[in-house]
Amino acid sequence: MPRFSANLSLLYTNLPFVERFQAAKAGGFEAVECQFPYEYSSGAKLHEILAVMQSLDLGMDLHNLPAGDWSMGDRGIACDPDRVEEFKIGLLNAIQYAKTLQVPHLNCLAGLLPENVSKDLAQHTFVSNLTFAAEALKKENIKLLIEPINTFDMPGFFLSSTQHAVETIMAVKSNNLYLQYDAYHMHRMGEDVLEIEELMPFIDHIQVADHPGRHEPGTGEIPYGDFFMLLDDLGYEGWVGCEYHALHRPNFFIA
């Protein structure tokens, strides 16, 4: 069975953020991740979070780069040619958070294809930003990830297939850029989650949720029993992030 981490942006949301770590530990999780930690803007708050994690022997494996103004509809800015400087400033901010919280992975959301921007220009911008970010993060011993997201939940999202993600990784030509494989998103895009063997050299983080509903595995149609056995057979040793809205219980993996 793979190792599971709790995504604290979707799980235990009835609790204040700092209290979710204790809930995750009590629920049997061995690590955590989150989407955006940036509301905790002071160093004191970040060190409080780190102290809580250390007291519980929990590590944070992942968070995202700043994605623009989420409340205004941004879903990442990495493919927007008019926001390159904003991307670079956000990267520097993310590095400080990741170093303070001892996070080894940062995920870059490509964003929506901007209006009046061609796919070719968006791709050029995306590759350029990722090249810059991969090298900056390499100096800090932090791995950079990109994540394809389904266009049902996020219409217009620029990166929506594993093929596009792999092509982008190859174009960047860095040994510090990897694929974050979200089985929920790829299932929704019609990809077979049991046909990932050729993707494994690119994958450095996996996330799961079932469909329909984006609830825990076992509540929907995705063959997660076979998927988890396949990960074991393929020798996957990374974390599997539980990025779902729990319908019955957050820790589905405990019998």
Phi, psi of 12 (to 5 degrees): 60, 35
33 catalytically annotated: no
Between 162-172 and 119-138, two packed helices, what is the crossing angle to 10 degrees? 60
243 catalytically annotated: yes
Looking from the CA of 57 toward its CB, the CA atoms found within 13 Å total: 4
Q: Kindly name the residue from 39, 85, 147, 195 that is annotated as catalytic.
A: 147
> Using CA atoms, how far apart are residues 153 and 224, in angstroms rounded to an integer?
21
> Using CA atoms, how far apart are residues 244 and 181, in angstroms rounded to an integer?
14
> Using CA atoms, how far apart are residues 251 and 213, in angstroms rounded to an integer?
17
> Using CA atoms, how far apart are residues 201 and 215, in angstroms rounded to an integer?
28
The single-letter code of the amino acid at 245 is H
Q: Kindly name the residue from 33, 191, 216, 243 that is annotated as catalytic.
A: 243
> Using CA atoms, how far apart are residues 135 and 132, in angstroms rounded to an integer?
6
Q: Strand locations in the chain, DSSP E?
A: 3-7, 31-33, 59-64, 105-108, 143-146, 177-182, 203-208, 239-242
Q: Strand locations in 109-176, DSSP E?
A: 143-146
Report, as residue numbers or ranges, the catalytic residues. 147, 243
